[in-house]
Homo-oligomer: A and B are copies of this chain.
């Protein structure tokens, strides 16, 4: 068997083997994802309408669903070289621990200071803003990985960085806040008095601890009122999936180097940035009829947009200032429980991933957080890496699939995305260690409340 060729614990690509182009999966989709809509006119957003929000090149990338490959600018390639290629790790120790005939690999994106894959798109978005001569960018952050990544990218390029951080994270995750500040970012707890939408939300819900949707609204408004600023977003968007395709392209190159063909590819899914990036080149092969894979999106049972959501046009943010996107969604009015995987609490899902899911290229599973932390701990003990709660959703299902192989005797090759480390999530681990972590599954009534906030547009 080809897999029996001596495979190292970690497959590193040489610098010369690193991808020099991003791959745009939409180019190979016969049925394209539905366009973003102007929330006022309900017409597809035009280049000119998006221009005040995003910098020009990013608008082009956002709207382009025909160009398959985009050259990665040299300055971004150089930045990538500081922390990429990330290793594709053969989980020999986990396989042994599980006593499974399955072969398990994970693409580890956590070995950079942002602690996750978010840096791949942060540097790209900051670069194009810099190229356009802008002064700075604004963004929101929930768990803090994206804000950290953007702070790092902006520090590197000498760009201003304003981060609206969901208030409960700002208070509960002072470490993340300080990493951003160390990189020179201006961090504001959201909702804040700095924006109209923030003031409105504070008036309506005094004492609220904030939400990602609300922080997005504030960051978009802040960019629109400041000369020389644009808004940037770490997930959901097509441009993000494009930049994150570096994950999948490297994974595929590393697998190809050893003639390995995966059977199952697994990723956690919040807004879809990691999963979309990981599966891009593989789903591209499926779309072109060249290969077939089992692709699995894993989401928390507490925020089940793919497994229990609706495929419909919805607002991307609470303040309803952003374009509408057709996606799997729980409704922008859905209030997720205080799960420990802050990065998976978004009410919607990447429109492109949503379309691929709807077209049956991908399946989805939802898992409970205590089982996720149990998988995280099991993984950490044998593989060394302490994973982020978000990433551990993928570990849970990878272990589940490997255990199925143990039952059936199948030697499947499983690849999963290990998006990041859990170093800033230790208080969540403490709850797990102390046996006081609880699970929350929204009732049908809870979901109905979220669905009631859908705008009811069907084109």
CB pair A430 B386 closer than 8 Å: no
When each residue 77-98 of chain A gets 1 if its CB lies under 8 Å from chain B and 0 otherwise, what string results?
Answer: 0100111000001001100000
Chain B, residue nearest A91 (CB): B82
CB pair B430 A184 closer than 8 Å: no
Flag the segment in A5-13, A36-44, A46-54, A344-352 that touches B. A5-13
CB pair B384 A112 closer than 8 Å: yes
A14 beta carbon closer than 8 Å to chain B: yes
Interface on A for B, CB 8 Å cutoff?
8-10, 12, 14-15, 78, 81-83, 89, 92-93, 111-113, 115, 152, 155-156, 174-175, 178-179, 181-184, 377, 380-386, 421, 423-424, 426-427, 429-430, 432-433
> What residues on B are CB-neighbors of A385 within 8 Å?
112-113
Q: Please give the distance in Å from A180's CB to the nearest CB on chain B.
A: 10
Number of copies: 2
> What residues on B are CB-neighbors of A78 within 8 Å?
9, 92
Residue of A380, A384, A424 ringed by the most chain B CB atoms within 10 A: A384
CB pair A381 B155 closer than 8 Å: yes
> What residues on B are CB-neighbors of A181 within 8 Å?
429-430, 433
> What residues on B are CB-neighbors of A152 within 8 Å?
380-381, 384
CB pair B174 A82 closer than 8 Å: no
CB pair B93 A377 closer than 8 Å: no
CB pair A179 B426 closer than 8 Å: yes
CB pair B182 A377 closer than 8 Å: yes
Q: Say which residue of B93, B111, B179, B380 sits within 8 Å of A386 (CB atoms).
A: B179
> What residues on B are CB-neighbors of A184 within 8 Å?
381
Q: Please give the distance in Å from A5's CB to the nearest CB on chain B.
A: 13
Given the complex of chains A and B, what is the CA–CA distance between A174 and B425 in angstroms?
A: 11
